[in-house]
Chains A and B, each alone.
Chain A
Amino acid sequence: SAVISQKPSRDICQRGTSLTIQCQVDSQVTMMFWYRQQPGQSLTLIATANQGSEATYESGFVIDKFPISRPNLTFSTLTVSNMSPEDSSIYLCSVETAPYTFGSGTRLTVV
């Protein structure tokens, strides 16, 4: 299984600012996934990041709010833009190869 390094592990941010989360995979993968997990809820897919093309966003998520970069087959970033307290959540990245492994998560608190 792929090993994924994710950072930062946690952050407390002021509303209106932006935070960029990074995920590095130890092998080349075609697709990377970005999820959000709100307290007491399951994982919700934000978008699929493909190298060489724009990310594919799920319903309810837009590029202006969650811009994604995928410069190569081992790396991706997710930015949470213009944050509000409602963005407080855990953000996780994963890869398309089953069984699915995850980065260790970024615990974001917006104050």
Chain B
Amino acid sequence: RKEVEQDPGPFNVPEGATVAFNCTYSNSASQSFFWYRQDCRKEPKLLMSVYSSGNEDGRFTAQLNRASQYISLLIRDSKLSDSATYLCVVGGESYIPTFGRGTSLIVHP
């Protein structure tokens, strides 16, 4: 079983739609959680950290469920510019993060 699993997609949605991604992790000792965005042929960039109480940044909402060992990302009112790959990243005790394979999102007009 992979340490961090994501549905690779692609998720193909119209502008304005709401879309949600989930990510599961296997290490119950994981301590930090992030969503990264990666555009084609670019490096990953931090989208948002994920906190235990859940957090929101504009159209983006992230949630953590420690009991079930998953995190989620919700994007409301999708824009064309949201098209990218979204990487789930989990940090453990060793300082070395583990990356999911990424979920591809395509927002079309």
Contacts and interface: CB of A to CB of B under 8 A. Distances in A.
Contacts of B100: 42
Contact of A98 (B34, B41, B99, B102): B34
Interface in A55-108: 90, 92, 96, 98-105, 107
Contact of A43 (B42, B45, B95, B99): B99
B91 to A, nearest CB: 5
Interface residues of A, number: 20
A105 B42 contact: yes
Given A92-B43, A103-B43, A98 B96 contact: no
Interface string B6-37: 00000000000000000000000000101000
A22 to B, nearest CB: 15
B46 A99 contact: yes
Interface residues of B, number: 19
A104 B97 CA distance: 18
B49 interface: yes
A8 to B, nearest CB: 14
Given A42-B87, A42-B102, A100 B43 contact: no
20 contacts: A31-B95, A33-B96, A41-B101, A42-B87, A42-B100, A42-B101, A42-B102, A43-B87, A92-B43, A96-B95, A96-B96, A98-B34, A98-B91, A98-B97, A99-B34, A99-B49, A100-B97, A102-B44, A104-B42, A105-B41
Closest 10 pairs (CB-CB, A-B) = A42-B101, A102-B43, A96-B95, A43-B99, A105-B43, A99-B46, A42-B99, A98-B32, A104-B43, A98-B91
Given A43-B99, A100-B46, A105-B41, 12 more contacts: A42-B87, A42-B100, A90-B41, A92-B44, A100-B34, A100-B91, A101-B46, A102-B44, A103-B43, A104-B42, A104-B43, A105-B43
